[in-house]
């Protein structure tokens, strides 16, 4: 389909771009002229006000702001400035095509190997190692849709009045962020399956998530005493372990609390509560969560360095997925909880006390539920942020080798090199003594039935969404 040119240095054919202006390198170098590495670009998480998904009713904030809204804005700009109707229609059509491709087709086109590694693709637009700045192989194909994004903006900039160019550039940059977000999403979600496949008899995968607040509920919604109540936090920990007959065992630990501060201390206390009651503690664990501020923060990362001492558990890694985008079993667990509560109220009970939550969900299979109250007698002295933390999506706490005792982090799992935070660095960033959580916990309910799932299929490389 495309013609070739030979690289004068290597004498190997390189992809010849019919329109030199839309060189793939250009898309990154234009935005980051001072040679920002592409890995950094792909790992870049939007600064600015962090909107968590509660505000958006389940919609990820990056998708909302950088996906949906930008396409609407572009359509408005075109309608306003392009008077020739046939040109206008063509441009509006382009916007629709680009939107559909970025939203749906692109995420299916890129693929990740079952071991969680990025897989080279002959098509330069879909090669993940290339997008992450790690591919030396040849790319002989171009996607027929992906490059339209660049030619579209070139066309638009040639038509629109000069004073609109800045605005258009701004929209383009947002769409490139959106593209990076889509790419990270597919890659990171594939890590869930890859980690489950790596389970052995000594380890466990922990997927953790806060269910949004549970509010008091009654069949008669108008009852005045239900107004003004704060509700409860529900924190869920799913523990995956290997069982016989090629299945995985899932144990769900749900903690409810009137303490609605969802922070590192609550998270650490909830995890502590699970290990307190566990008979066969795993020798190693890997944690997976979204990158919400109650997990993805310096205090939490420093606390994890103590697990070997506190619980004799090696923390292999913590992998952060994009907020609101993790399509994991925890979503279906929370859907089951919501359903169970609804049913409980429909048959005449009320969610009046926290213990009502317990009664309504304790029969879900594999589920153990109890109350937790983190002790909050800590001082309010802050922990200094670990440098670069917001871009780091994979964390490790090695217990052997040259980096034993350090905290290590990198932008994406299996990509690039680690940043090391030495024990001295981490000690200096914390003015407070890190202490073992000591929460008040009730006796958790005992599940009546097991929850098992088949081991994910290793033959198919995972294509998502």
Residues binding Zn ion (CB under 5 A): 60, 62-63, 109, 120, 125, 127, 130, 135, 137, 143, 145-146
Q: Based on CB atoms, which residue is closest to Zn ion, 144 or 260?
A: 144
- At its nearest, how many Å lie between Zn ion and the CB of residue 286? 23
Residue 149 structure tokens: 């994004």
Separation of alpha carbons 463 and 283, rounded Å: 31
- Burial (Cβ within 10 Å: 0-12, 13-18, ≥19) of residue 61: middle
Q: How far is the CB of 327 from Zn ion (least distance, A)?
A: 12
> How near is the Cβ of 47 to Zn ion at its closest, in Å?
16
Q: Tell me the residue ranges of DSSP E strands in 338-429.
A: 367-373, 394-396, 407-410, 419-421
Assess contact for 186 and 464: CB atoms under 8 A. yes
Task: Mark residue 278 as left, alpha or beta (left: phi above 0; alpha: psi -120 to 50; beta: remaining).
Answer: beta
Show the tokens assigned to 72: 């609407």
CB 451 within 8 A of CB 366: yes
Q: Which is nearer to Zn ion, 136 or 400 (CB)?
A: 136
In the bound state with Zn ion, the residue whose beta carbon lies nearer, of 110 and 409, is 110
Q: Taking the complex as a whole, how short is the minimal distance between the CB of residue 67 and Zn ion, in angstroms?
A: 7
State the minimum distance, in angstroms, from the CB of residue 44 to Zn ion. 14
Largest CA distance in the chain: 79
Considering the complex, state which of residue 108 and residue 229 has its C-beta at the smaller distance from Zn ion.
108
- CB nearer to Zn ion: pick between 281 and 463: 463
Residue with smaller CB distance to Zn ion, 132 or 265: 132
For residues 347 and 343, give the distance between their C-alpha atoms in angstroms, rounded to a whole number: 6
Cβ 218 to Zn ion, closest distance in Å?
A: 35
What is the phi/psi pair of residue 382, to 5°? -85, 160
Nearer Cβ to Zn ion, position 109 or 358? 109
Residue 454 bridge partners (DSSP): 247
d(CA 432, CA 379): 8
Burial of 226 (0-12, 13-18, 19+ CB in 10 A): middle
The encoded tokens of residue 136 equal 């030396």
> CA–CA separation, 55 vs 61, rounded Å?
9
Query: Which lies closer to Zn ion via its Cβ, residue 5 or residue 104?
Result: 104
Q: Which helix (H) or strand (E) holds 152?
A: helix 148-159
Structural contact between residues 196 and 240, judged by C-beta atoms closer than 8 angstroms: yes
Nearer to Zn ion, 192 or 369 (CB): 192
Read off φ and ψ for residue 434, nearest 5 degrees.
-80, 120
Task: Supply the minimum distance, in Å, between the C-beta of residue 237 and Zn ion.
Answer: 24
CB of 37 to Zn ion, least distance (A): 17
Query: What are the structure tokens assigned to 402, written together?
Result: 């040259």
Nearer to Zn ion, 60 or 192 (CB): 60
Contact criterion met (CB below 8 Å) for 393 and 291: yes
CB of 360 to Zn ion, least distance (A): 31
Conformation bin of residue 139: beta by default, left when phi > 0, alpha when psi is -120 to 50: beta
C-alpha span between 46 and 174 (Å, rounded) = 10
The nearest distance, CB 61 to Zn ion, in angstroms, is: 7
Q: CB-wise, 75 or 143, nearer to Zn ion? A: 143
Nearest-CA neighbor of 172 among 195, 189, 196, 148?
148
Q: What is the CA radius of gyration of the chain?
A: 25
Q: Least distance in Å: CB of 425 to Zn ion?
A: 32
CB of 265 to Zn ion, least distance (A): 28
Closer to Zn ion by Cβ: residue 62 or 302: 62
């Amino acid at each position: 389909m495309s013609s070739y040119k030979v690289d004068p240095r290597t004498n190997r054919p390189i992809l010849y771009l019919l329109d030199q202006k839309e060189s793939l390198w250009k898309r990154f170098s234009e935005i980051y002229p001072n040679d920002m590495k592409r890995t950094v670009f792909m790992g870049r998480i939007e600064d600015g006000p962090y909107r968590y998904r509660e505000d958006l009713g389940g919609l990820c904030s990056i998708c909302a702001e950088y996906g949906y809204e930008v396409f609407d804005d572009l359509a408005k700009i075109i309608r306003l400035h392009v008077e020739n109707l046939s040109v206008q229609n063509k441009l509006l059509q382009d916007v629709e095509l680009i939107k559909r491709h970025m939203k749906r087709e692109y995420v299916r086109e890129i693929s990740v190997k079952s071991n969680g590694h990025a897989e080279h693709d002959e098509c330069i637009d879909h090669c993940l190692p290339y997008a992450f700045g790690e591919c030396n192989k040849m790319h002989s194909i171009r996607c027929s849709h992906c490059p339209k994004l660049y030619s579209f903006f070139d066309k638009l900039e040639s038509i629109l009045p000069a004073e609109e160019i800045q605005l258009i550039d701004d929209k383009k940059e947002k769409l490139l962020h959106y593209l990076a977000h889509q790419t990270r999403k597919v890659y990171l979600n594939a890590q869930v399956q890859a980690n489950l496949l790596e389970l052995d008899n000594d380890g466990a995968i922990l997927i953790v998530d806060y269910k949004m607040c549970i509010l008091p509920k009654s069949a008669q919604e108008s009852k005045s005493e239900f107004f003004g109540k704060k509700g409860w936090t529900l924190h869920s920990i799913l523990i995956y372990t290997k069982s016989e007959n090629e299945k995985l065992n899932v144990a769900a630990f749900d903690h409810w609390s009137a303490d609605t501060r969802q922070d590192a201390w609550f998270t650490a206390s909830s995890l502590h509560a699970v290990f307190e009651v566990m008979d066969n503690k795993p020798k190693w664990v890997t944690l997976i969560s979204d990158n919400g501020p109650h997990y993805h923060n310096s205090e939490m990362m420093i606390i994890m360095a103590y697990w070997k001492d506190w619980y004799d558990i090696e923390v292999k890694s913590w992998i952060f997925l994009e907020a609101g985008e993790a399509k994991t079993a925890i979503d279906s667990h929370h859907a089951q909880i919501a359903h169970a509560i609804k049913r409980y109220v429909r048959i005449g009970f009320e969610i009046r006390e926290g213990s009502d939550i317990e009664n309504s969900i304790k029969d879900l299979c594999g589920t153990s539920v109890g109350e937790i109250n983190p002790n909050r007698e800590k001082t309010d002295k802050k922990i200094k942020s670990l440098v670069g933390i917001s871009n780091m999506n994979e964390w490790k706490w090695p217990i052997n080798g040259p980096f034993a005792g350090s905290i290590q982090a990198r932008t994406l799992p299996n990509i690039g090199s680690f940043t090391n935070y030495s024990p001295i660095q981490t000690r200096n960033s914390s003015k407070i003594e890190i202490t073992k959580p000591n929460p008040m916990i009730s006796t958790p309910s005992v599940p009546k039935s097991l929850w098992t799932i088949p081991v994910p299929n290793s033959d198919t490389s995972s294509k998502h969404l």
